[in-house]
Amino acid sequence: MATEFKKDKAVFKNLVPLDALADAALDQLIRHVPVEHAPKGKMLFREGDEDQRHIYLLEGQVQLLSKDREFEIVKSGTQSARFALAHQWPRKFSGRAIEEVYFIRIPSKVLHSLVVRSSQAKSKSDQAEEPGTDCMTLALNARVLQHVSPADIQKVLVRMEEVPVKNDETVIRQGDPGDYFYIIAKGTGVVTRTDPKGERQLAVLSPGDGFGEDSLISGEPRAASITMASDGVLIRLPKDDFLEFVRRPLVKGKKINEARKLVEEGAVWLDIRHPEEYAENHYPDAINLPLETLRERCDAYPNDKQYIVYGPQNQSEVGTFLLRERGFNVFLLENWKPGQIRRVDEDDSTLIDIDDDNAKTSAPSEQQEDFEAQLTKHKEIIDQKTSEIEKLEQKLKASIEKNKRLEQDLEQALKNSADASADKAAPLQKRIKQLELEYTELQEERDTISALLDDSTAQESKLSWKYEKIREELENYKKAQN
């Protein structure tokens, strides 16, 4: 029988991002999270699992496996063990105990909520804190870093640099060479692009969003400018480190024969070129998702399918990266040349063009139906978010009313206690403690509802912006057809 593992606050405090939690939040987490035990040989999790939980090793050794082959051994007490095991979802590795182990599982949403609330509390109380801790924690939770291997995540964090920025400061200027990848830790930014028709706003960036990857991957000048819309803090990673630790694990290639086999098994061709080029020729049944609209339109496509991205090499690499970052199962078609629908012979050395007769072109109605389907889907999601926001606002209103009543009860109890005789003071003091506890719990509930409301409102805003961009694209398409 396994001995009981004694919870040590120092061990929990050493874990990332638990090291950024306020003491009260950490104590609460330690009380409620059970320490689990696994004997030698037991699987803690499996490759492909989508359970949104952070798993931390407290004692023992765990073997990380990819397709039943050993990738890494994580030992408790080491730097690697400070981070959650196989923290990407779906999980890229299986985890097996190679000796008796103790570990914890923390729901990711709960952990994220605690980190955000601790960060807000520290900011409001002006308490002393280790420079950069919260910003680095937010950077670690950024979507793009979820794909970095446990062995490399510490190297990335060491190479990252915190940069304070001011409102209206231009971080990236269109036409400049790429030098850094950025993640917004605090504040908001606006993406704009200037063309012969003038300057256009493309997107609004918020904490956790990354930017600047396109130029680093393609090697081309910056395609847009990013200007801060508020004071804030950015985390930046130099180009060489980004390419080695972040781009490399996300952009995986397939040779033409391998790609064709995947398509035969159900994968889908994804053409990254402009619609005009796609209309001239493309692989049979290919989807056209131009790079410039990929960020706005990719949510309309199912991410449970496998995709093969093709087109100009630099654009394809960027598209593959962006789709992988967003959770799509996607591969880059290697050695594709612009303007060609081609195949490679058996020894994979000779490029051969396929006649246009073999290329399939899409009818205008198909493209229009695609746009309209995306609009319908986004409208449904926006309606759901609007309903969700209304319910949260009602909950928040009820919580505020309850809070007012509790404050009145507490105030009256304190007054009664001050006026009471010694023999009546004790039960009143007990009532005061009960009211104070209820008041604290209610404040936490209000904070949680407010955080959910802010998140839902932000999502609804982004969805509405995407909806307008797709609607505008549909209108432009209709005009072009006429």
Q: Is residue 138 part of a domain?
A: yes
Here the CATH number for the domain that contains residue 110 is 2.60.120.10
Asked if pLDDT for residue 355 goes beyond 50, the answer is no
- How far CA 73 is from CA of 5, 148, 244, 438, in Å, comes to 22, 16, 22, 46
Which pLDDT band holds residue 207 (cuts at 50, 70, 90)?
confident
Q: What is the rounded CA–CA span in Å between residue 182 and residue 161?
A: 10
- Give me the pLDDT at residue 273, please: 87
Is the four-CA dihedral 369, 272, 245, 328 of positive or negative sign? Answer: positive
CA distance 50 to 446: 29
Task: Give mean pLDDT, residues 73-95.
Answer: 82
Distance CA 411, CA 341 (A): 77
Q: Confirm if 65 and 93 have CB atoms less than 8 A apart.
A: yes
- pLDDT reading at 226 higher than 80: yes
The answer as to whether 53 is a domain residue is yes
**CATH label of the domain that carries residue 314:** 3.40.250.10
pLDDT per residue as tens digits for the range 8-53: 888 998 887 787 777 877 887 888 788 889 999 999 998 888 777 8
Residue 296 located in a structural domain: yes
Same domain, residue pair 238 and 305? no
- Whether 1 is covered by a domain: the verdict is no
- Rounded to an integer, the average pLDDT of 225-232 is 90
> Pick the residue with more confidence: 142 or 223?
223
If asked whether residues 34 and 61 sit together in one domain, one would say: yes
Angle between helices 364-419 and 422-481 (to 10 degrees): 170
Is residue 349 predicted with pLDDT exceeding 70? no
357-397 confidence digits (pLDDT tens):
444 444 445 556 666 676 677 677 767 767 776 776 777 67
- Please, what's the b/e burial string for 432-469 (b: 16 or more CB within 10 A of its CB; e: otherwise)? beebeeeeeebeeebbebebbbeebbeebeebeebbeb
| 64-68, 233-237, 265-269, 477-481: least confidently modelled range | 477-481
Residues 378, 409 within the same domain: yes
Residue 189 resides in a domain: yes
Most confident option among 113-127, 230-244, 432-446: 230-244
**Domain co-membership, 285 together with 204:** no
Element (H, E) at 476: helix 422-481
- Which residues constitute the domain of residue 441? 368-481
Place of tokens 């870093």: 145
- The first and second tokens of residue 273, run together, are 């070129």
pLDDT tens, position by position, 149-173: 766 777 888 888 899 999 999 999 9
Between residues 319 and 279, the one the model is more confident about? 319
Are 197 and 305 in contact by the 8 Å Cβ rule? The answer is: no
Q: Which of 362, 377, 394 is the last residue of a domain?
A: 362
Residue 2 included in any domain: no
pLDDT at 444 over 90: no
Mean pLDDT over 396-402 rounds to 72
- The confidence score (pLDDT) of residue 460 equals 62
Model confidence at 435: pLDDT above 60: yes
Residues 112 and 32 in one domain: yes
| One domain for residues 431 and 331 | no
The pLDDT value given to residue 136 = 64
Do both 140 and 118 map to the same domain? Answer: no
pLDDT score of 378: 64
Which of 125, 141, 168 marks a domain boundary? 125
4: in domain: no
CATH of the domain at 424: 1.10.287
Residues 225, 208: Cα–Cα separation, whole Å: 18
Count of structural domains within the chain: 4
Token pair 């694209």 in the structure block, residue: 473
Which residues fall within 8 angstroms of residue 369, CB to CB, at 6 or more apart? none
Residues 147 and 234 in one domain: yes
215 and 282 inside one domain: no
Of 344, 362, 380, the residue at which a domain comes to its end is 362
Share of the chain above pLDDT 70, in %: 68
- Band the pLDDT of 128: cuts 50, 70, 90: very low
Mean pLDDT score of the chain, rounded to an integer? 76
Assess if residue 24 is contained within a domain: yes
Q: How far apart are CA 352 and CA 57, in angstroms?
A: 53
Q: Are residues 69 and 101 in the same domain?
A: yes
Same domain assignment for residues 326 and 263 = yes
pLDDT of residue 120: 53
Would you state the pLDDT for residue 346?
A: 34
Task: Please tell me the least confidently modeled range out of 22-26, 352-356, 423-427.
Answer: 352-356
Q: Is 316 found in the same domain as 375?
A: no
